[in-house]
Amino acid sequence: MLLRSQKSIAEKIIAGNADYILSLKDNHPTLHQQLKNWFETAQSLGFKGVDVSISQRVEKAHHRIENRKVYTVPVSQLPALHEQNQWVGLTTVVMVVRSIQHWNKTTHEVQFYITSLKSDANKIGSAIRQHWGIENSVHWTLDVTFHEDECRIRSLHSPQNFALLRRIALNALDRESSFQRSIRQKSRRAAMNDQYMISVLAAALPNSSLC
């Protein structure tokens, strides 16, 4: 279901005259391994004969140094990819190498993406950074408000279901504007005040401004 869903999402995005950048992990093991092998070989050869775009960015903050290097290559430069024709608009493959130094500890991470954007490491890298920023912000808010990291729900589909419910609740609390406080304070008020809870629920409805 997940594979079909992402491919369907990509198709709808292209139909809406927009572009997508999709991360590849365990959800697409064959394609992920194929890109990993190709980039490792190409990198060992210095990307000789390959039309590659490269950008590098170093950020320093809070005793933390992050070095990011982005490589983008037109999909036409690679052998046929696994189920390539099922990804509507697929134009470029991406490798992001991150090295994060925090105090005396350094971690390394490599991520792969596919995108409908043209090969431009600066542009694609910027879009990926913006996405990380949003994800990190949402994760921090969910942890502070709902203690998501401490949740021990593990069975069947419960983790995914509760994660979705938390995000719905976060969106509703964020949209409710009559009580100008933090998300955590809004959550506590909704738990103690039924009338305010109704306001929060109404804010989550489509066209709630008309209610």
3-state secondary structure 1-34: CHHHHHHHHHHHHHHCCCCCEEEECCCCHHHHHH
Model pTM? Answer: 0.63
User: In the prediction, which pLDDT does 141 show?
Assistant: 56
105: left (phi over 0), alpha (psi -120 to 50) or beta: beta
Q: Which residue's structure tokens are 């190498």? A: 97
Maximum CA pair distance of the chain?
66
Per-residue pLDDT tens over the stretch 136-147: 454 555 555 656
Q: Which residue's structure tokens are 């005793």? A: 63
Residues 6 or more apart in contact with residue 57 via CB below 8 angstroms: 67, 68, 70, 125, 129
In a domain, 188, yes or no: yes
181: left (phi over 0), alpha (psi -120 to 50) or beta: beta
User: In the prediction, which pLDDT does 50 show?
Assistant: 94
Q: Are residues 6 and 48 in the same domain?
A: yes
In a domain, 205, yes or no: yes
User: In the prediction, which pLDDT does 130 show?
Assistant: 76
Q: Are residues 24 and 100 in the same domain?
A: yes
Per-residue pLDDT tens over the stretch 145-195: 656 555 665 666 666 666 666 777 777 777 777 777 777 777 778 788 888
120: left (phi over 0), alpha (psi -120 to 50) or beta: beta
Q: Are residues 110 and 68 in the same domain?
A: yes
Q: Are residues 92 and 48 in the same domain?
A: yes
Number of domains in the chain: 2
Q: Are residues 101 and 19 in the same domain?
A: yes
In a domain, 83, yes or no: yes
The DSSP bridge partners found for residue 58 are 67
In a domain, 124, yes or no: no
Where helices occur in the chain by DSSP H, the ranges are 2-15, 29-44, 121-146, 158-175, 183-192, 194-203
In a domain, 14, yes or no: yes
Domain carrying residue 192 = 151-210
Q: Indicate the pLDDT class of residue 77, thresholds 50, 70 and 90.
A: very high
Look at residue 18 and tell me whether its pLDDT is greater than 80: yes
Per-residue pLDDT tens over the stretch 80-130: 999 999 999 999 999 999 888 877 788 888 999 999 999 999 999 988 887
Look at residue 132 and tell me whether its pLDDT is greater than 80: no
